[in-house]
Structure 1
Amino acid sequence: MTSSISSPLVVTADPTLRDQLLRLCAAAGVTPELADDAVGCLRSWIAAPLVLLGADLAPAVADLQPVRRAAVHVVAPGRAPDGLFRDAVRIGAAGLVELPRSEAWLVETLTDLDEPRPGGLVLGVTGGSGGAGATTFACALGQVAAGEGDAVVIDCDPLGPGVDRVLGLEHHEGFRWDALCQTTGRLSARALREALPRAGGLGVLSWYAGGRASALQAFAAREALSASRRGHATVVLDLPRGADPLVEELAARCDLVLVMAVPSVAGVAAAARTCARFTEVAGANLVLRGTGVPPEEVARATGVPVLAQMQDQRALAESIDLGLGPVRHPRGRLGRAAAQVLAAARAGQGGSGAGRARAA
């Protein structure tokens, strides 16, 4: 059977188990490569993105001591016997999968293999001071990024205005944190992407409008970020300013953290404290809103490079009130600044050098 880069390797000589796994692969829309003996599976052991090793061949494969790799799951038809756990440990398997109990999870895992992207760009946005416009810029990044591929803005600030409201998606049907924090288990990238409120290529994950927003649950935030990264070209996190271990963990998972700052004496002083929090866990850059202290002096005062500077967007409040989002036109000030930041982040230019700012 011809394999592709997203083809899992199914290793079993048990015809019943093989039929079960083929059915699950078909449900996920993937075509597996098959091996019915321990030695034969070694040819594709490293190349396959996922290995499903039948309980019948697990002892023989363990005896061969194959190269340790990620994404190996030992699959048992029914309850796994105690000895199978020892074989799984010898192989270095990620875990045991019992069928039919874990069928839904396995289909989601197989579905993710068909995602065309290995992982999207993740940007965190936070305010260097109150009123710096972090949520607005996070939404602007999402709007501009959605013009080039699937994008999602994740609202990590339960006390913020709500990114869905800023983007005019608060009345769209879809998954919110309120429901996500009640779930357990691994999230499928495709399932999450299709479940979120969205307009075109842009999705949002926030709280229900008008409801009482509760604190983020760590497990839900990790799963949401992981699934979003697998299922979108660009992921933007709207991060709260308050010091919190979970916020710092999410920032550490970002490719770049953008600190929004107002270039005034007070704004730069506040931004310097914020930058000090994030430079230890992630690459941080500043985005300036307005004029005042020159970008070079802001960079020297904070020890963090300035990636972009922009003037206030005209009719911004009107655009948001009309449900159009902050970027009404891609050539507007917010649109140009967001495009500049995205281009620099994708080129790997963030986090080094100072004074790279250009007024937008």
Structure 2
Amino acid sequence: MAVLLLTRSADLHETVVALCAAAGVEADVGADPSLALGSWSGADLVLVGADVAGEVTALSPPRRGGVHVVGSSVGEGVFRYAVGLGAASVVDLPEGSPWLADALADVGERASPGRVVGVVGGSGGAGATTLACALAQWHATRGPTLLVDADPLGPGVDRLLGLEGRGGVRWEGLADTVGRLGARALREGVPCEGALGVLTWSGFRRRLDVPAARRMLDAAVRGHELVVLDLARHGGPALVELVERCDDLLVVTPATVPGVAATARLVADLRCADRAGLVVRPGGLSDADAARVTGVPVVATLGEQRGLAASVDRGLGPLTRRGPLARAARDLLDAA
């Protein structure tokens, strides 16, 4: 059973069941809370009608996530019952119908959040976007993956993957929306090929703000096994927000004096040395030198890949079956 609705209100019953039907999820409606509580723990989502919220609270059901109190013109007493139930929210209908529809659309999605891997270049031209694309391509053969272009001044990850002509929502479209973003809506709305979805930009006027970044990432981790963030070096507050949410942060640097020096400054600015890993590109310095200067351990050394530019120009993306990028993607994602 997906959704448990407890209510005696015919209007509430009709409204919620219609939303469930539109979302394609099964609803079990109980008019007697004492009889319906047997399904309390097994439902993916529990909706407690404001008309029976007091009765349900008096029954002291076990605390669990995914409980919401729903009703029309709810009063202050309902909020007290919601606190007693440990409810995540009180949804006033019909105003809250769009939010509830998004929540219902997520029913049956991942029970635990997906992994978030951030990739940022320690210096300009380090190859962070190429590595981010390779990681996403590699994991997409195994499960739902979202590649997020969080660099407003970058080339556009859709172009590197040959997806620039695909229809779908871009960052500009998300910025024009408000409220909760559904995981399924995001996964099915972005340009995609197979299990790989891409969230990128549609024009040249690009700006990533914190609210949009937060809403996107909340939905992304609910709907994907892996979310790869191609991060900007100079992203302001939005960069800090996204970096804080990363399970793994990969900093790409060329093993050159200027590259490592710039990387050390970025790491110090982000205060991420304790949870970042260094991916080193060819240069005159050793891995030990790069780690010592930046204070970040080396987790991978990435050699030059022959035919990379030609593969990207042909719309195939940077990843090939064999080569440094494929090996690095496999090792980096399997390491955690």
**Cα RMSD between the aligned structures?**
2.2
1:157 corresponds to 2:155: no
Letter in 1 for 2:244: A
Matches within 5 A, 1:313-324: 313-324=305-316
- Does the Cα contact within 8 Å between 1:12 and 1:56 map onto a contact in 2? yes
What is the number of equivalent residue pairs in this alignment? 336
Residue 133 (structure 2) aligns with:
139
- Does the Cα contact within 8 Å between 1:117 and 1:233 map onto a contact in 2? no
Q: Identify if the C-alpha distance between structure 1 residues 214 and 149 changes in structure 2 by more than 3 Å, giving closer, same or farther.
A: same
Letter in 1 for 2:113: G
1:183 corresponds to 2:174: no
1:236 corresponds to 2:231: no
Task: Give the Cα–Cα distance (whole angstroms) in 1 for the partners of residues 197 and 109 of structure 2.
Answer: 17
Task: Give the Cα–Cα distance (whole angstroms) in 2 for the partners of residues 303 and 217 of structure 1.
Answer: 29
Task: Give the Cα–Cα distance (whole angstroms) in 1 for the partners of residues 49 and 6 of structure 2.
Answer: 6
Task: Give the Cα–Cα distance (whole angstroms) in 2 for the partners of residues 243 and 282 of structure 1.
Answer: 20
Q: Secondary structure at the match of 2:91?
A: strand
TM-score normalised by length of structure 1: 0.85
Matches within 5 A, 1:209-358: 211-242=203-234, 244-280=236-272, 283-327=275-319, 329-344=320-335, 348=336
Task: Give the Cα–Cα distance (whole angstroms) in 1 for the partners of residues 324 and 89 of structure 2.
Answer: 50
Task: Give the Cα–Cα distance (whole angstroms) in 2 for the partners of residues 12 and 159 of structure 1.
Answer: 51
Q: Secondary structure at the match of 1:313?
A: coil
Task: Give the Cα–Cα distance (whole angstroms) in 1 for the partners of residues 56 and 273 of structure 2.
Answer: 40
Task: Give the Cα–Cα distance (whole angstroms) in 1 for the partners of residues 199 and 235 of structure 2.
Answer: 22
* Cα offsets for 1:172-207 (capped at 9, x unmatched): 111011111010011111111111111222111111
Letter in 2 for 1:290: P
- Does the Cα contact within 8 Å between 1:112 and 1:190 map onto a contact in 2? yes
- Does the Cα contact within 8 Å between 2:12 and 2:49 map onto a contact in 1? yes
Task: Please identify, of 310-319 and 93-102, the stretch whose mean Cα deviation from structure 2 is larger.
Answer: 93-102
* Cα offsets for 1:249-306 (capped at 9, x unmatched): 1111111010001112222222222223445497210111114322233223322221
Q: Identify if the C-alpha distance between structure 1 residues 289 and 339 changes in structure 2 by more than 3 Å, giving closer, same or farther.
A: same
Structure 1 segments unaligned to the other structure (5+ residues): 349-360
TM-score normalised by length of structure 2: 0.91
- Does the Cα contact within 8 Å between 1:252 and 1:282 map onto a contact in 2? no
Letter in 2 for 1:125: V
Q: Secondary structure at the match of 1:229?
A: helix
Task: Give the Cα–Cα distance (whole angstroms) in 1 for the partners of residues 186 and 162 of structure 2.
Answer: 20
Letter in 1 for 2:57: A
Residue 9 (structure 1) aligns with:
4
Residue 69 (structure 2) aligns with:
74
Q: Secondary structure at the match of 2:243?
A: helix
Sequence identity of aligned pairs in percent? 49
* Cα offsets for 1:90-112 (capped at 9, x unmatched): 43432222333333322221121
1:196 corresponds to 2:190: yes
Residue 104 (structure 2) aligns with:
110
